[in-house]
Structures are given as C-alpha cells and as structure tokens.
Chain A
Amino acid sequence: MIKYNTFTLKNGLKVIHHHDKTTPMVVVNTIYNVGARDEDENRTGFAHLFEHLMFGGSKNIENYDAPLQLAGGECNAFTNNDITNYYNTLPAENLETALWLESDRMLELAFTPKSLEVQRQVVIEEFKQRYLNQPYGDVWLQFRPLIYKKHPYQWATIGKNIQHIEEASMDDVKAFFFKHYGPQNATLVIGGNVDFELVQSLVKKWYDDIPSRERYIRNITPEPKQTKERRITIERKVPSNAIYLAFRMGSRLTHDHYLGDLTSDVLSGGKSSRLYESLVKNKKLFTDISAYILGGWEDGIFLINGNLMENIDVETAESAIWDEINLLINQSITENELTKVKNKFQTAKAFQEQSLLNRVMNIAMFDLMGKLDEINNENEIYNQISVKELMDFSKRTFKKSNTSVLTIKAIK
C-alpha cells in the first residue's frame, strides 16, 4: 500500500509527498507532461534532447550535477513518447539542495550555446551507439512509421531523423522549453524520510515564485483504426532472421492494458509459457521469442517478436505464431494459466515496490495519467480479470487486419 498526500501551488505545480521512515534517503522526482508525442513532425527528438540540456546549467546555477554531488546526491532522467521524468536521490537531510536545483531549472535554463552544441553531439553519438551500431538496433526506427501513419507515435524518442537534432537552433530549444517545462505542466513527487510539513515549507520556498506559463493544450489527431495488414521486409547484416508482429490495442489508460499484459504473460512470461514451450522447445523454430505490450498513453501495441533458428524461413515462423494465436482465440486459456500469471504479477509488484525510487516514480506516472487514486488497486484489477475477458481481448486484437509485420532477412 503506497500512501501519499498532495497539495498544489498557485502557479499550478502539483506536489505529492510519500513518507517512508525506514530509509535514510529522499527522492525528488519531477515528471513533465511532455514526450516525443508533443513534437512537431519536422522537429523530432526535442523532448529527449531536453533531457540532456536540462543538466547543462540553469538561470542562476552554472552546473546542475556538481552541487548535487557535493550534497551526496545522484540524478538521472528518461524520456519516452508520452512523458519526461527527472529524479534525484540524496540523503534525506539534504532535500533542500535538490529543490533548489530542480526549481531553478524549472524557472529557466541557462541556454548556453556551448551546452547546446555539445549535447547535440552527445545525442548523435547516442543515436549511433544505440540504434545504428547494434544488430537489429534500427528496427523501431523502421517499424513505428509502419504502425502509425498519422499519430506522433510514428517516431522514436531519439527522433525520426538525426538531422532534426543536428539542425536544432537555440530559438527552437527556447520555444520548446517555455511551452512545456513550466510548473503548470509538471508534478513534483517527494518521497523518503522527510515529513509533510518540511516538504510543504521547502517546496513553497523554492517554487512559489516560479511564474505559471501558458497551459499547453494537447491536440493530437488519434491514429485511425487499422483496416488491413501492413508489411515491411528489411535486409540487414545480422546473424539470423527475425520477425516482429504488432497488433493495435487500447492505451495504457484503458482496461485493455491489463488484459494485454496478462495475455502477453500467458504467451511468454517465463519458461512455462506457451510460446517458449511450443515454438522454441518443441517446434525448434525460434531461438527466442517474446510477447509484450507497449503501454502508450494514447494508443497501445501488443508485440510478438522472435529470432529465428538457422534455416527457418520467416513464412514458416510467422504461420507458427498464428497457430498459437488461434489456439488462444479458439480454445482459450485455462484457469490454471490465469492463476499462474496473476500470482506472478503479485510477486513482481511486491518486489518492485520495495524500492523507494520505484514507488515515487509510480506515483508520478499514475498522477500524470489522472489515475492517482488507482495506484493501490492494481492487484485488485488483475485479480478480477476472467478467462472470458482475455478471450474477448484476443478475438478483437489478434486479427490480420489489425497487424503490422516487420521481417528482417539476414544477409552476409
């Protein structure tokens, strides 16, 4: 059970406090309601570029990291298609250091030409290291535009084209900052061994004078329903053929999320799951195969992807996956399988919630989703799911007309 208290400042900043007396630490987590989905299609990769620029100094503080490290702290951040999340972990007595730093960069960044120039270069190297210089590294750069034709989910957080980062100007960067990084567009979560009164007074001290900026109204055209199968085959110098099947489903905010999650566990959660047993071990078609959901907040994807055994062609592999899907639809899953994945979820959640940082991030995510009051209901939601519901989910999701297929042909 995660407990919390909330309050909101006049400038619109929502603050959530989570008390944990057993830790010597405090986590200061700021989630901004901005992700790659909010980018202009001709200026992609900005939310992620910002994740780098946010450490390049702010209006009154030359360097973000050094004062934090001096106070024994550590920080990091991540960006996805929906949100950007910044966090600091430091000894609880030094809470104020993190608030001083975080509030100043919410007030205004330093916007030094040097920082922009260097971080552009760092992001380009990140792009090479993660997407270009790895086998199968560019799959998502190719696959997203196949699945999404209208919605900004068609580009990855690193950007659709590295030129967008190369060409980012200071004016673009400033405009993006003032549009998205104000107090009205953020939730601040503070968790750890600090009490509510202290949090209240220190947050007021450092954040009250930050002006509220114009509220950004998100206006994204939803991706139209898919009506026929889409395919792409790419040839790459990789060791083995691979296949990716994507099915559109409901977003993270819908009940589909939970149904998709359990269905993916039935298919590939652990060694007793169906895909491993049937396709890896018995039929020997794949060396590995997994099913999972991408819980986008605006639209969801159910994904199955596998690497093929040598000498197995992609057609055989794909039709074997469809055989498993049809079993799911026609013969349903057993009560035993359902109990198993529910039990595994409970264990995983209990371990995950041991970490203060995880609890704090969860609070931030749930709040931004507008579901804070549901944060402690997840076990209950999963427990109530029936075999029938999963079967209905499979029927409406796993249709050829709702499928995008990417295959990779290995070439020498």
Chain B
Amino acid sequence: MNRNIAPDFTKAQKIDLVFPQKIELENGIQLFWLNETQDDTVKLDISWDAGSKYQNKALVASFTNALLLSGSPDLNAHQISDKIDFQGGFISHDVDKDNGGITLYGLNNKISDIFSVFSTAFNQAVFPESEVNKLIDIRKNGFNISMEKVSTLCRQSFNKNVFGDETGYGKVAQLDDFNKVNQQDIVDFYNTFYLKSKPTLFLVGQVDDDFINELKKWSSKMGTTTPTCPPQNFKQTKGRVEIKKEDAIQSAIRIGRLMIQKNHKDYYKFQILNTILGGYFGSRLMANIREDKGYTYGIGSGLSVLDDSAYFFISTEVAKDVTESTITEIYNEINRLKNEYITKNELEKVKNYLLGEFLRHADGPIAMMENFKNIFFNNLSEDYYTDFIHAVNDVTPQQLKDLANKYWDKNEFLEVIAG
C-alpha cells in the first residue's frame, strides 16, 4: 500500500432511471405514479399552472397558494390542520414563478384520510378575511426582515433587472403591495387558476387501488383548462446596478445574463462549462476566491431555468473592502475559460464529478420522481438524462472554450452589488 498513489476507481457509465407510470384520471388530468418504494411513506404532489407570472397584482399567487387550506364552509383553518396533523400528515405549499401546488406527505395507512381532508378543504376553500389579514401581517414582517439582508436586496434587484420589471418574471413585490392584497383577488385567482384549471399529480409510494380511485373521483370535479399568461418581453439591463446599505459589513454580488433553456442544443455543454466555473466545490471560482484569497465563505454559479426564459448567474457575499477585487477575479476566471483550453485532468475531474451527481440525484424513488418532473415541466424527451450523460462523456476543451466565448461577453452582463 502506498498512500501517495490513489486507488483505482471506475467511472459511472449509466444511471438506471425508473420513470413513473402514467394514469389518465378524469377530465384529461394525468397522474404519474412510482410505487417501487421500500417503506410505508407516500408523497403526493399536485401542481397547477398557478405561479406568480399569472397574477395581475403582486403577491396574489403566493397568498392564494398559502391559504388554500385556510377554511371551508364547515371547517376553519385550525380544524383542517388539526385533522391532517392527527393523521400524522404533513403539507407543504409550493409556489414559484410558473407553478403553484400542494404536497401531501403521510404513511400509506393514513394517506387516504389525509387526502380526504385536503380535498374537502381545497374544493370548498372560502379564504376567510381574518386569515388573509393574518397572513399579510406575517408576510410583511418576514419581508421586512429579509430586506435587511444584502443577499435578498441583491437577488431582488438582479431578478428585476435581468427580466425587466414590466414582465411577470421581473416584477418584485414592495412593502406597499402587502396593503393592497385582498380577499376578492385571492378568490378570483383560486377560481381561475386552481378550480377551473387542470392540475397534474405526482405520486410516490405504495397505495392501493382504492386510493387511485379516490384521486380519479376528485379529478372529475376539477377544471379542464390550461391557463395562458400574457407574453413577456424580456429586456435585460446591462452593466452595473448598485444598492447601498450603509450598515452592511459584507456586500452581496450577483453577475449574470439571460440564458438558453434546457431544450437548446448548447444546454448540456454550457452546464458543464458552468460546473467548471462555479458549479461545485472544486470550481475555479471557489478555488480562487475562497480557497486561495479567502475573500468569501462561498461563491458559486448556476443556471436558473423557467418555463419562458432562463438566466445564468454568479453569486457571492464578500467583505466590503474586497468587493472590487472579487469582481476582477470573477472576470479573470471567465476570461481564462475564454482564452485557454481546460486541461485534460481538470476536465476529467469535472466529468466524473457530474456523472457522480447524476447517480446521487437518482438515488431513491422520490429523487427519481424529481428527475421525471424536470423532464415533464421542461417538455424534454425521456432521453434527456441519457443524452446529458453522452454530452458529459463527449465534450471537448475546444467546445467549452467556444461556448465561453459565445455566452460570456462582459458587455452582455448585468452586475448587481448590494452592500
């Protein structure tokens, strides 16, 4: 045994993906079901096209989503929660720019009871005014707290400037918006985007046929339309935007630009390029700005892909006095990727790391369902992951250098600094 020599290792060649079976419920509603689980857990995601891009007033999508189970003619919010809690159930409310939904978690001997409380409360939701007002108080306080963080200030401004503040994606809520949300807005949003619209269901767990039949019955009461939102004309700001926060001791930095989506031919290889720059612990940005200079606790880059657009970003928080040096180093690292070929060793490391990531993300049925949801929501083919792995195996230093030059023109970047 020689401790100076690394043991042999093998490279992950393929991942065994398991896709869910598709079941057609009523009204054209689809259920995707994975039942190859090892235990008694059941997770049911129900998702609608009810994200914030559909709202015509700030905050309405997120308030509607949060209050879906806040009261029906027979049960108040407390009774609904109490009944679900009593069955050992957990509920999470999820809303982003594109989708809104609810996830139910429970054990398989209780899931039917949990679902029945959910469906009764959901289908007859009344959104009591007291619950709306309470949520306004709670959210306002949370908003005020998060606005004290340079990371939030930076992210918000970046979001606004990367999409343009007239677009559904780019609009950012202000404190005053909390005083404008009202019960009627929420009821309207609920009627149009939840009750009358078609949800999609994702189920992981061993359940019996009776439960599938319950889902079928419920789907017959749901709407059939697929909502549309007005077209968004994205217009990104270029150059620097600064947000002052006098008492801050660190600055938050976010640099990026509008970017290609997952079905673009460059996507896989750009994702590899992104990994090299800032997508993992051994990335160029981490190696330089954290591990060599000690400027930050962490720095990273990534792609955020939405239904109608996508952006690339680099993000970090650094000591105030090294803000400019950090930005200089970020561009140095970008330029190195534009001007020099990546070495064989580094490319090998990134490839193998990414293949390991695919395996980590395919571990267990819930992870498998997340992979499938990625394919489903982004309208990708079932070969997406296989193709991605091929791209990782095949990518060349020349291709990466070309992509860096194609997408990383400093003049095209938006730089936001808060601090």
Please give the residue numbers on chain A whose beta carbons come within 8 Å of chain B beta carbons, in ascending order.
22-25, 59-61, 65-67, 69-75, 89-91, 93-94, 96-97, 100, 104, 107, 117-122, 125-126, 128-130, 132-136, 205-206, 237-240, 269-272, 277, 280-281, 284, 287-288, 307, 309-310, 336, 339-340, 343-348, 350-351, 353-356
Q: Which of A129, A281, A288 contacts B78 (CB 8 A)?
A: A281
Judge whether B363 and A23 touch: CB under 8 Å: yes
The answer for the CA separation of A125 and B137 in the assembled complex, in Å, is 33
B387: min CB distance to chain A, Å: 19
- A350 lies within 8 A of B4 (CB): no
Interface residue from A23, A121, A133 paired with B364 (Cβ < 8 Å): A23
Is B48's beta carbon under 8 Å from chain A? no
**Given the contacts A59-B3, A72-B356, A350-B39, A284 and B137 also touching, CB distance less than 8 Å:** yes
B223 proximal to A (CB < 8 A)? no
Given A72-B12, A125-B318, A205-B1, A240 and B144 touching (CB < 8 A)?
A: yes
A72–B352 contact, CB under 8 A? yes
Q: Within 8 Å CB of B248, what residues of A?
A: 133
Chain B residues with Cβ below 8 Å from A280 are 134, 138
Given the complex, which residues of A lie within 8 Å of B360, measured CB to CB? 25, 74, 89
Which residues of chain B (82-118) have a CB below 8 Å from chain A?
A: 82, 84-90, 105-107, 110
Flag if A128 contacts B249 (CB, 8 Å).
yes
Q: Interface size bucket, B side? A: 35 or more
Q: Residue B222 at the A interface, CB < 8 A?
A: no
Chain A residues closer than 8 Å to B349, beta-carbon distance = 66, 69-70
Given A74-B360, A128-B319, A307-B141, residue A351 in contact with residue B9 (CB < 8 A): no
B355: chain A residues within 8 A (beta carbon): 72
Contact flag A344-B297 (CB < 8 Å), given A24-B359, A72-B12, A97-B6: no
Chain B residues, CB < 8 A from A23: 363-364
Contact status A93-B15, CB under 8 Å: no
The interface residues of chain B lying within 8 Å CB-to-CB of A134 are 148-149
Given the interface pairs A60-B4, A97-B9, A128-B249, the reply to whether A347 lies near B106 with Cβ below 8 Å is yes
B82's nearest neighbour on chain A, judged by CB, is: A272
- On chain A, the residues within 8 Å of B6 by CB distance are 67, 70, 97, 100
CA distance A121 to B321 in the complex (A): 14
In the bound complex, what is the Cα–Cα distance between A90 and B360 (angstroms)? Answer: 8
* Contact pick for B81, options A72, A270, A307, CB 8 Å: A270
Which of A59, A65, A343, A346 is in CB contact (< 8 Å) with B86? A343
Inter-chain contacts of A22 with B (CB < 8 A): 38, 364
CB distance B142 to A287 under 8 Å? Answer: yes
Give the chain B neighbours of A272 by CB distance below 8 A: 78, 81-82, 84-85
State whether A270 and B85 are in contact (beta carbons under 8 Å apart), knowing that A60-B4, A65-B281, A347-B106 are contacts in the complex: yes
Residues of A within 8 Å of B319, CB to CB, are: 125, 128
A133 CB, nearest partner CB in chain B, Å = 5
In angstroms, Cα B82 to Cα A134, docked, is 34
Chain A neighbourhood of B43, CB < 8 A: 351
